Amino acid sequence: MPIHFLRRSTRVSVAIALVAAWFAGAASAASVTTIPGMPSVTNPANLYSEAGASHLSPAVAGALTRVYVPNLRSDDVDVIDPATDKVVDKFPVGRSPQHIVPSWDLKTLWVTNNAEGRTDGSLTPIDPKTGKPGKAVMVDDPYNMYFTPDGKYAIVVAEAHERLDFRDPHTMALKFSVNAPECKGINHADFSIDGKYAIFTCEFGGKLVKVDMTNYKVLGYLTLDKHGMPQDIRISPDGKLFYVADMIADGVHLVDGNTFTKIGFIKTGVGTHGLYPSRDGTKLYVANRGSNLVHGPHHGKGSISVVDFATRKVVANWPIPGGGSFDMGNVSVDGRTLWLSGRFDDVVYSIDTTTGVVKSIPVDMEPHGLTVWPQPGRYSLGHTGNMR
């Protein structure tokens, strides 16, 4: 029977049912089919929803609230208590510690000691409940480290060899490797919303490389700028774009990951380097290192640019009073503080994410990829806390 012949009350009920069915279909259409073993995407409009302020996993219960700082030139780690802004511990690690990486299961922090040109690279585990290091594992050239979205493998980024080594995420035993010979200086990465691929930056080739995360093979390369120096990379909350920091271009490239094409560029500041989403997933904090050089001067033109994800516009810019070198780090549990290393100034910065006010804490020689712990989220994809 046509709907206009039904009684008014029945017509209303039918209309409500149709609207409900439409919304259910829309929600279903918007859902994300992830690779097997990867946790579901709770909110397809904001893949960072589970890493919101104070949204801590039971897996981090008992972890000390600390900032762990790898010092590249002094081969040690400084430990800062953010409640006092004081260094409360220090311990030696392997040669040339680059980043401190939370494990996929959130139970271990790994220091990537890549030994810079030598053959004695290693990974030092830190127990976040005690803040103390364990016995190092010998690993070839671990410049950086990520984890597959299903948690099955650790991905050690062997920068000097243009290679990704897929390892057991606990023992770090090598399982297999993927070579990326056109990606000179392979270093930072992020993953698609469904976990089907990752995009890695090629620091010394001005390129990106796209890697299949189910068949573990290179899918292709994209040249951003042959004279560029791409650094950190982060996906937008809706999973549609990748933001790629470029230290030479002084800004962020916008890349459509699915089509693997560059679609735009945002100018930020000198020496664009690190990228960190706000805890509510609305802003991207862009760390501008203050120099276009790999080894820059003290007191450079460092700044933070705040990019609005919705408009893709810079909405604030916070310089360092007296100059400095914002590098890498992450955001506090409550989202109120951005912690970054001062690569060329031997300090760590805490930045108020409301006012942009900067504080400096002296540390050892050439701090690099520090991490804040604990951080909200269900699991870590690596780096200094790529949480989802």
pLDDT at 198: 98
As beta bridge partners, residue 177 has 165
**Rounded to an integer, what distance in angstroms lies between the CA atom of residue 127 and that of residue 107?**
7
pLDDT per residue as tens digits for the range 151-161: 999 999 999 99
Q: Which of 182, 170, 277 is nearest to 226 (CA)?
A: 182
Q: Hey, what are 19's tokens?
A: 């609207």
pLDDT at 265: 98
Q: Is the dihedral of CA 373, 375, 379, 384 positive or negative?
A: negative
Q: Which parts of the chain sit beneath pLDDT 50?
A: 1-6, 9-12, 14-29
pLDDT at 384: 98
Buried b (16+ CB within 10 A) or exposed e, 235-244: bbbebebbbb
pLDDT at 7: 53
Q: Which of 54, 20, 8, 15 is nearest to 387 (CA)?
A: 54
As beta bridge partners, residue 220 has 210
**204: region left, alpha or beta (phi > 0 left; psi from -120 to 50 alpha):** alpha
pLDDT at 9: 47
Are 58 and 339 contacting, i.e. CB atoms less than 8 angstroms apart? no
pLDDT at 295: 87
pLDDT at 10: 47
pLDDT at 378: 98
